[in-house]
Amino acid sequence: MLTKEQIVRAAVEVLDAEGVDGLNVRRLGAHLGSAASAMYYHVKNKDKLLVLAADHVFGEIPMPDPAGAGWREAAASLARGAYAMVVRHYWLIPAMSTHLIYGPNKARFDEQSLGVYESAGFTEAEADQAAATVLMFVIGAAQGEAAQAAWRAQLRRSGADGDKELREITAEVFEIARAFPRLRARIDSDTVRPSDDTFEFGLQALLAGLESRLTARGTPAR
């Protein structure tokens, strides 16, 4: 008999391959080689299954110890782990826009985030704001890669040639960009930064800003 854990793991696999639109109980049953009725024994509908899958992937984020690493490196480690997780599971962004994501893994991540900022010397209210701000940055930074992955999943479902479509869209994007001198210069010199470099730049700038708030009021960084 299928377990709830097996069903949730399989849902993550289907979501990774086909996105939110590709997930349904019949598709999941086929993936598991089981009748749809077996799914309903553990999960009452697709919405609940999506929430369970989203909470499951939050469990992939490593939990750093601020006491050992220092609050800023612990915060950066959490952010990097969250960013990598969202990029792996691109469907999480659209899921978070339509569903309230909760569960023990999401709660564990939130608890650890708040602990990191409180350990730095932020008040409870400030820690709430800092954790929310960094998570919003992570989600925004992952948006581009997630959108491309979602687009590829849509092409797979339709049977289209993804590589051909990407080449055509890339050519169109470059043609539009060449009308603007700064964009054209970057295309011609091929100096567009990798997304990981851009993420790290933004993350360090954000954490430096948070640290400066502590310094400004005379709270020593811990």
Supply the pLDDT for residue 112.
96
Would the CA dihedral through 82, 86, 87, 89 be positive or negative?
positive
Q: Answer yes or no: are the C-beta atoms of 108 and 63 closer than 8 Å.
A: yes
Residue 22 to residue 6: CA distance in whole angstroms: 18
CATH number for the domain spanning 34: value is 1.10.357.10
| pLDDT bracket for residue 72 (50, 70, 90) | very high
- Would 181 be classed as within a structural domain? no
pLDDT digits over 17-35, tens only?
888 988 888 888 888 888 7
User: Does pLDDT of 47 surpass 80?
Assistant: yes
For the ranges 13-17, 31-35, 125-129, 200-204, which has the lowest average pLDDT? 31-35
Helix/strand/coil (H/E/C) assignment for every residue in 54-123: HHHHHCCCCCCCHHHHCHHHHHHHHHHHHHHHHHHCCCHHHHHHHCCCCCHHHHHHHHHHHHHHHHHCCC
Q: Which of 27, 89, 24, 29 is nearest to 55 (CA)?
A: 89
- Would 102 be classed as within a structural domain? yes
pLDDT digits over 141-166, tens only?
999 888 877 777 777 766 666 677 77
- Would 73 be classed as within a structural domain? yes
Owning domain of residue 83: 4-160+192-216
Supply the pLDDT for residue 152.
76
- Would 171 be classed as within a structural domain? no
Q: Which amino acid is at 159?
A: G
Q: Answer yes or no: are the C-beta atoms of 59 and 105 closer than 8 Å.
A: yes
- Would 174 be classed as within a structural domain? no
- Would 167 be classed as within a structural domain? no
- Would 50 be classed as within a structural domain? yes
- Would 197 be classed as within a structural domain? yes
Tell me how far the alpha carbon of residue 90 is from its chain's centroid.
7
- Angle, vertex CA 124, rays to CA 210 and CA 215, nearest 5: 30
- What is the model's pTM? 0.86
Q: How far does the chain reach from its first CA to its final CA, in angstroms? A: 51
Q: Give the DSSP letter string of 190-221.
A: T-PPPHHHHHHHHHHHHHHHHHHHHHHTTPPP
Q: Exposed (0-12), middle (13-18) or buried (19+): which is 12, by Cβ within 10 Å?
A: buried
Q: Which of 89, 61, 53, 91 is nearest to 77 (CA)?
A: 61
Question: How many domains does one find in the chain?
Answer: 1
> Does residue 159 come out as left (phi exceeding 0), alpha (psi in the -120 to 50 range) or beta?
left
Residue 77 to residue 63: CA distance in whole angstroms: 8
